[in-house]
A = this chain, B = another copy of it.
Amino acid sequence: MISVEAALEQILAQIQPLPIISLPLADALDYVLAEDIVARAPVPPFANSAMDGYALRSADTTGAREEAPARLRVIGTIPAGYMAEYELKPGTAMRIMTGAPVPPGADAVIQHELTRQPASDANSVEILTEVVPGNNIRAAGEDIQPGSRVLSTGSVLGPWELAVLASIGVASVQVYRRARVAVIATGDEVVEVGQPLQAGQIYNSNSYTIAAAVTRAGGIAHVLGIAHDVTGDLREKLSMAREDDLIITTGGVSVGDFDLVKDLLAEQGKIEFWRINMRPGKPVAFGHIGMTPLLGLPGNPVSAAVTFELLGRPALRKMMGHRYLQRQVVPVTMLEDITDRSMRRHYVRAKVEFRDGRFWARTTGPQGSHIMTSMLGANALLIVPEGGTIIHAGDEVQAIMLEWPEK
């Protein structure tokens, strides 16, 4: 048996980032940047007002106070998006809107609330306080200087990263391509949902689980259905996966006599079969069919789901250029015992909550690998160390966070 860490290391060593493509900014959400982005122009692009108020010369406000305001002649108005057409001369002011360019000649803006409209003179404004040079002015380039690096290769393009790229006028970006993943279920006992179930048969749930988990990881699932335990069937599915970046199979990798799948894989490509020191899970295959990497997960649905999380998702993330491949692990305090004893490392499905400054965990109930409902409501995998450790309520356990609680 090999450890989960050793298996993952061997897989990642054989996975390379996918080719780089160029995408319009509007299509780039959640892709990973494959270039450094350097600003060509300043942000803000021009000195502009931080307030609605009056642009003026600060020297004209010397000594101004409420009882003895400075009176300035208002010579125009500057809305956002428009440049003043003339220079601001001593003794004058211009009304200015938030974000509008500061007119030439002005060196400060006073907000509306610190001014007064003299009843006698509609064309003037009274300034009720002294202002310092630069007051309420956002300088050109205060945020981003031309030539500065805004984002680096490996950054994930979230909504806020897209905001910054748009603000510096970046219309398209170089990113790592999303991985296209062939999903193949195997097994003579497996039947598609919607078909009647004959005696001895079970529904194909693995294709749904793996396709959805691939989608959530940012990949594109190419669901190829069920290959039955005749080699011709699997051969055909594999040929349909030739354009894909990764093949994920479920089932057919254990030691049973009827695992023709295993034999075919060994014949068609370079495949290793591992017994991994984990529960649920254990039998996993990894290798290549032609040039395409193949990850063979167990047929048991809970095992397939957990091994995808631990081995498949990091591989996919590496393909798509991510810097961080694995989920956050946090210490959680158990609210109940885990009496289920296993000599293998046990990944216990659990519901973690954050309360009173700590993470608290409960299992999702019985943890047999055939208990599908152990997956319901789980947002974490508790790592119970190998060797038959018993965990008691109050004990601290490490938890792999799959999703974080919302409230």
Interface residues of A (CB under 8 A from B): 25-26, 29-30, 41, 43-46, 50, 52, 77, 79-83, 97-101, 138, 142-144, 150-151, 158-171, 187-190, 193-194, 197, 199-213, 215-216, 223, 229, 254-258, 299-301, 305, 322, 324-331, 354, 357, 368, 370-373, 375-376, 378, 401, 403-407
- A170–B210 CA distance with the chains assembled, in angstroms: 17
- A130–B129 CA distance with the chains assembled, in angstroms: 97
Residues of B within 8 A of A50 (CB): 368, 370
Judge whether B213 and A80 touch: CB under 8 Å: no
- A211–B29 CA distance with the chains assembled, in angstroms: 9
Q: How many chain copies?
A: 2
Judge whether A197 and B163 touch: CB under 8 Å: no
Judge whether B372 and A212 touch: CB under 8 Å: no
Known: A29-B216, A328-B354, A328-B406. A375 touches B163 (CB 8 A): yes
Nearest CB on B from A164, distance (A) = 5
In the complex, the chain B residue whose C-beta lies closest to that of A39 is: B373
Residues of B within 8 A of A166 (CB): 193, 203-205, 207-209
8 cross-chain pairs, A with B, having the tightest CB-CB distances, nearest first = A81-B189, A166-B205, A159-B212, A160-B375, A81-B188, A324-B406, A163-B209, A80-B189
Judge whether A404 and B401 touch: CB under 8 Å: yes
- A159–B187 CA distance with the chains assembled, in angstroms: 21
